[in-house]
Structure formats: structure tokens, C-alpha cells
Amino acid sequence: MQIVRDIPEMIALRSQSTRPIGLVPTMGALHLGHLSLVERARQENSCTVVSIFVNPTQFGPQEDYLKYPRDIDKDFALLDDHKVDILFTPDTTELYPAGFDTWIDVGQIANRLEGASRPGHFRGVATIVTKLLAIVKPDKAYFGQKDAQQVRIIERINTDLNLGVELIAMPTVREEDGLAMSSRNMQLDGKQRQAAVVLYRALKAAETMHGQGQNQASAIKKTMDSYIKGEPLATVDYISIA
């Protein structure tokens, strides 16, 4: 596995390659969800690039960027074991040099749901993903369906800016008890981790209601809201059914 830390080297490698390239953008602290994206990328491309960059511009003022889980040695070993071709791991000053002042604003799609709870979050996500797509110029890029709104925003960028990347959204990978795998799960203590499963139970309750013929989104959301609020450690930011 080749490790690339600066943008000019990554651009040069891409310009020299005629092979199909798949990109898996991550913030590290890798788990089986990330690795499912890597495996799909390897199946579909001659060259797989994984990026690791904890993006400070998508963290809000009440979110601790410095405490985001990091285990770069473990990540390197996992990616090497999975035969990734290139690991692109630039530092913050490489991607946001002095004087950087260009941002991607996707409009209303980024201002609702999670965007309403985390103002500015999706501007940071949109900007860094656009930069990574511009630097690596992949044929395909792989994302998890767990971050559904983020996927829609990236699709909008890809369409509106004519980037021409084929975007692949992969199913959510879950723990044995149903909790979606996430790097941030490492930040939960024992009680919080146990409580977090209520999200999956609320989703399963919604699935059951729909399977029994309930087609009123408001009724399903009310049931999900009750499930989640029944857990003392849980709060509801939003519930949306698409």
C-alpha cells in the first residue's frame, strides 16, 4: 500500500494512471462498515484509494473535534490487510492552507434535518468531499447509506458541478444488537452504548407498522418518537420518513 500525504503527489499519481479508480473517503477509526466500502471498491476498480482525514470544518462549536476517535496505526494495518492500493492522508494545512476561503453551499437540502441541528456541518462536508473528488478524480466513490442526507448532498454536488463520478451508496452495517456501526460509538460509555440500541428498535417498530399496512408517516413517526423518548438517555432531534 502506498501512503500519500500531499496533494501534488496524489494528483501526479492520478494523472499517470489509466486504471479505473475507486475512492472511499473516511475520517479514520475504521470499522466493518468502512471495510465493506473498501471491498466493493476493490471488486469494481483496478486501483482503490482510501482517504483518511478528520475534517475540522464539519464540526460545530459544541462538538469536540479533538476528541474524535483516532487510531491511525490500526487503520493503516486494516487497509494494508485489505490490499488498498493508495492511502491518501493529508494534514489540515494541506487541505486548508492559509488564505483558504472557498466553500460549497448546497442550499436547502443541507439546512434541514441534521443540517438544522448542526448548522454549518454540511458546508464542511460538501467542501471536503468536493476537494477530495477534485484531487483524486475517481471513476467511482463509495459512501454508506447510514449518512443518508450526506449521500443526497454529495449526489447534488456531483450533478450540479458536472463532476461525472459514479456514486455508490452501500447498505448500513450493524452490530449484533442492531446499532449502526459508527466510529463515534467508541465515545459512548457502557450505559450510553446500551441505550443507543433504542434507535434500531424504533426503526424496527416502524418497519413492522409499515408491513402491517400503516402508510401514514405521521403515525409511524409518533410511534418512533415514543420509543426513543422512552429511553431516558435519548433525545430526539428529528424523525424523517422518505
Question: Exposed/middle/buried for 26, CB within 10 Å: 0-12, 13-18, 19+?
Answer: buried
Mean pLDDT of the chain: 97
Q: Which of the residues 34, 82, 121, 210 is marked catalytic?
A: 34
Helix (H, G, I), strand (E, B) or coil at 123: helix
pLDDT, position 96: 98
- Examine the pLDDT at 62 and tell me if it is beyond 80: no
34 is catalytic: yes
What are the cell numbers at 205? 417498530
pLDDT, position 63: 85
Q: Give Cα 56 distance to the centre of its chain.
A: 14
Residues of the chain with CATH 3.40.50.620: 2-170
What are the cell numbers at 53? 482525514
- Examine the pLDDT at 109 and tell me if it is beyond 90: yes
How, if at all, do strands 2-4 and 86-88 pair?
parallel
What are the cell numbers at 118? 448542526
Architecture of 2-170 per CATH? Answer: 3-Layer(aba) Sandwich (3.40)
Confidence tier at 124 by pLDDT (50, 70, 90): very high
**What predicted TM-score, i.e. pTM, was given to this entire model?**
0.95
